[in-house]
Structures are given as structure tokens and as C-alpha cells.
Amino acid sequence: MTNIQLLLAASGKETNDHIADLVNAVTGMSVQAAAADSVELLRTLERRPDFSALLLDSELEGLADMPDSVLATFDLPVLMLTPSLPYCSYAGSMEIVDFIEKPLTPFKVRQAELHLTQHLNKRETELDSVRIPIVDENIEHLDSSDILFIESLNRDVIVHTRERQLHTRISLKAYRNYLENEPFLSTHRSFLINVSKVERLEGENVYFADYAQPALIASDKKADVSKRLGGHLQSCLI
């Protein structure tokens, strides 16, 4: 991916000018426009939707009062400037590629450029895939199709794939919202399963192919789960 065109959003013209000068000087990315508050940010996005990504300051004026879902509607990858790491208040609702801890330095900007380039290249080859953010000490994105289930255990949220168990600081509630249009089903207040990956049901357990640990079904959800999975598992009984 070349010619990455950024929309920058940070509070104040002086701050925006400083960040733009640094980004333009040390990377192959180009700041094409800047917004000094959340109102100007939305106006710019509505007027010109052709940016490659958004470089967003988490402390942008008015951002905290904006509903989480608003920026997500623009389907734009985000590099987020933050006062500290990790910072995942918005990670479940926006396509955040990387967090850049303040103060900004040439090294941090170049690292963010590398992560953004890799993300955009994957985006081009996986147009039908939904990418799910995983935030711990770092941030990465998984294809939703690779996830077996997501579990909340004593406030520790774990994303299960066949190969790995990934701890994340994003809440299970945020993942439910993020995956509401995907084939995922809440079987328990602590479990969200990928229906397409289910192999069988046994009692109050949901099993997945080539994976030992089951997800759980709450007793009050057994009938609904059975009905939802009926087409997928015609021969399974609860």
C-alpha cells in the first residue's frame, strides 16, 4: 500500500501543524487535511470520504461526547494518539490499528506507519472479512472467522482460536456489539460463540472441532440456542 493519505484530528491548529510536519517529514504518509475538534472532524469526513486512514487524538475536543458508533460508520482505519498505553476505550467500536503514546517521536510515527501499511494490505486482500481488535500490551486484529468463542472469566476476557488463547482488555459487551451482524451467538452471560465453528452440543457444553475446551450454555438459554443451532447441527440434541 503506497500513498497513504491521512486525516488528522487533534485539538488546536498549532498541535495539528506540529503533528502534520512530523508525519510528513519522517514517513511516506501524507496529512491531507486536519480537524481541530469533533464537529470539524465529522464535517470533513462527510465532505471528503477518500482518506486512507484517520490519525486521531484521543483527547480531541468533543470526542468524549460523541457516540462510539459514529466514527465506526465511516469504515476508516485509525491510528490513535493516547496519553498512555494501553488505551482501549474506543477499540471495540473503531477499526483501531495502533496506539501511539504521547509525546510523538519519529520512531513512534514510523512504527505506526508500518503497522498501518500491513493492515491496509491485508484489508485489500480480505474485503469480505471482519477484523476484530485484540488489545493487551499491544493491539492486533483477527479475522472473525478464526474465532471459536470469546469468554469472560473473572473480568479477564479471552478470545479462543484453534491455535491460541488471546487475552484482551476489550469487554465482552463491546465484542457482542462489534459482532452483532456476524454469525455469533451469546449462549451465556460469559460466552459468545461462533455458530459456524460449532461441532456438537452436549448438555450445557458447546464443543468445537479440534479444540478441547467447550463454551457454556446457560440453562435459561438452552431452548434458544438449540433453535438457533438447529439448522447447523440437525443431528445434535441438548
Q: Percent of the chain scored above 90 by pLDDT?
A: 54
C-alpha closest to that of 178 among 159, 162, 165: 159
| pLDDT tens per residue, range 213-224 | 999 999 999 888
Judge contact between 52 and 6, C-beta under 8 A.
yes
H helix runs in the chain, sequence order: 13-26, 38-47, 68-72, 106-125, 172-178, 222-229
Helix (H) / strand (E) element for 219: namely: none
Cα 238 from Cα 236, distance rounded (Å) = 7
In this prediction the pTM is 0.70
Per-residue model confidence as pLDDT tens digits over 23-38: 999 999 999 999 999 9
Q: Which pLDDT score is estimated for 127?
A: 58
B/e letters for 79-115, b = 16+ CB within 10 Å, e = fewer, are bbbbeeeebbbbbbbbbbbbbbeeebeeebbeebbeb
Question: In order of start, what are the domains of the chain with their CATH numbers?
Answer: 5-131 (3.40.50.2300), 146-229 (2.40.50.1020)
pLDDT digits (tens, 9 = 90+) for 152-193: 998 899 999 999 999 998 889 888 888 888 899 999 999 999
Say if residue 129's pLDDT is above 70: no
